[in-house]
Amino acid sequence: MQKYVINTKKQKAQIDRNIYGHFSEHLGRCIYEGLYVGEDSDVPNVDGMRTDVVEALKAMGLPLLRWPGGCFADEYHWKDGIGPKENRKKMINTHWGGVVEDNSFGTHEFMRLCQLLECEPYINGNVGSGTVQEMSEWVEYMTFDGLSPMAKLREENGQKDAWKVKYFGVGNENWGCGGNMRPEYYADLYRRYQTYTRNYGDNRLFKIAGGPNVDDYNWTKVLMEIAGPYMDGLSLHFYTFVNSWEDKGSATQMTEKDYYRVLKNTWRMEELVTKHSHIMDKYDPQKRVALVVDEWGTWYEVEPGTNPGFLYQQNSMRDALVAGINLNIFNKHADRVRMANIAQLVNVLQSVILTEGEKMIKTPTYHVFDMYQEHQDNQLVESYITTPDLDVDGVKVPAMTESASVNGDGHLVLTLCNLDLHEERRIDADTLGFNPKKVTGHIITGAMDAYNTFEEPELVKKEAFDQVELKESGFTMTLPTCSVVRLILE
């Protein structure tokens, strides 16, 4: 029997809903086909946005969407994506498959998508190949309400009212595809570019600096030292491979060892968030600057027969556990991690949705986001579970992870993962300061390599879960093998 203690009296921080954010890039079939099919498509749409996908994403509680990249952002020139579509400049998407980008999805389309999704836009500006003036004018175009050259241009393009844009990224991966810069150089550029991204009217920008790659702690140190006071957020990117960047492994063909390797590699997020936060604490003890994990998730070899530049991969129960582990980590670091964006929303890397023509399926990762949405904006409470470490051929990883929060109605929301493929776990939980009268449970479980297909779209899905017995100030439960569970206690 494992002991689980949840202390509802110890509220630690608010879980920012933006921890449940997503990322959409002009990459493969994410924007085109996945989200946007155009007004004339046979696929049911509103202003070109797929109705089925929009509805599914709203039900999942998507709070925020990052766009237009990624590496694409530092090659994107926003003026190419406005005005009559037939006049829009075509370009080659050199990063992703060398295909023609016709710019038919631009600023107006993205803002319309966010409106339909009822989510916050997070725009990523171009530092790598764009000018200060270009970035400054984009912010003016989107947010200036009054008489100005960019506001006039916006109106000529059909949008009289300024949009509200809060989240703005000043470059992406500037240590790599965003310009191959050194941290000192980027930190100075960041200071310069952000100066001209203005707050117009009552629009207030939340400025996010391009942060470190994985464990580049020096990047975090230098950025905080030189540019800390000028930023509201610092990004962190970390992807999970089966083995390494050079040997990413398959999304669906896996041995048990591969399964545990991916989960162990995922666990590294705990160390990364902790260590980057410690460095940030030195320069920002008040935790004013958010750590924004704006790219995370699994990155495997592409599905056989698909364009290698499109990063299209399947998504299994293993990915559901990757999502569950990461989201529990982010919740537990809610004092510093105030935004995270899984890569990417549709048809690219660890997607929540896959599409094929008119068809759409929800992946196991979708169901994890769906269950975990109950944590959004809740108070994180102190919690601890005694978990053994699994050791499979030298691959060591904790058997369970969890996080706990209290919502506005005083209900307790718990999310637990059992990584173990062979042993279910009996759990004895004490909910200090809380006497549960009712429990509602949901689960996603299956074989480690189970996944949904267009032929069998609901092999892995969220189901009701009732293996919980309430007791005075707590409960006992059985956590099945290879599962992600959400409990709501009232």
Q: Which residue lies nearer to ligand AHR by CB, 169 or 446?
A: 169
Residues whose CB falls within 8 Å of the CB of residue 232, separated by 6 or more in sequence, listed in order: 205, 206, 207, 208, 288, 289, 290
CA distance 340 to 63: 11
Q: Least distance (Å) from ligand AHR to the CB of residue 418?
A: 29
How far does Cα 385 stand from its chain's mean position? Answer: 26
Q: Which residue lies nearer to ligand AHR by CB, 235 or 328?
A: 235
Amino acid at 440: T
CA distance 300 to 2: 34
Backbone angles phi, psi at 308, to 5 degrees: -60, -25
Does residue 2 have a cis bond before it (omega within 30 degrees)? no
Q: Least distance (Å) from ligand AHR to the CB of residue 343?
A: 4
Q: Least distance (Å) from ligand AHR to the CB of residue 406?
A: 34
Residues whose CB falls within 8 Å of the CB of residue 345, separated by 6 or more in sequence, listed in order: 22, 23, 24, 30, 34, 35, 57, 65, 351, 352, 353
Active-site positions read 173, 295
Q: Least distance (Å) from ligand AHR to the CB of residue 299?
A: 8
Amino acid at 435: N
Burial annotation 288-318 (CB, 10 A radius, 16+ → b, else e): ebbbbbbbbbbbbbbbeeeeebbbbbbbbbb
Q: Which residue lies nearer to ligand AHR by CB, 69 or 130?
A: 69
> Does residue 125 contact residue 197 with C-beta atoms inside 8 Å?
yes
Q: Least distance (Å) from ligand AHR to the CB of residue 150?
A: 27
Handedness of CA 194, 197, 201, 205 (dihedral sign): negative
- SS3 of residue 222 by DSSP: helix
List contacts with ligand AHR (CB under 6 A): 25, 69-71, 172-173, 295, 343-344, 349
Q: Which residue lies nearer to ligand AHR by CB, 311 or 416?
A: 311
Tokens coding 264: 């162990």
Q: Which residue lies nearer to ligand AHR by CB, 168 or 200?
A: 168
Q: Which residue shows structure tokens 């949901």?
A: 442
Q: Least distance (Å) from ligand AHR to the CB of residue 121?
A: 18
Q: Which residue lies nearer to ligand AHR by CB, 94 or 131?
A: 94
Q: Least distance (Å) from ligand AHR to the CB of residue 402?
A: 28
CA distance 375 to 132: 39
Q: Least distance (Å) from ligand AHR to the CB of residue 303?
A: 16
- Using alpha carbons, list the distances in angstroms from residue 180 to 67, 173, 184, 188, 213: 21, 8, 12, 14, 12
Tokens coding 442: 């949901």
Q: Which residue lies nearer to ligand AHR by CB, 57 or 343?
A: 343
Q: Which residue lies nearer to ligand AHR by CB, 24 or 431?
A: 24
Expressed in angstroms, the distance from the first to the final Cα of the chain is 24
Handedness of CA 130, 133, 139, 142 (dihedral sign): negative
Closest CA to 72 of 125, 33, 109: 125
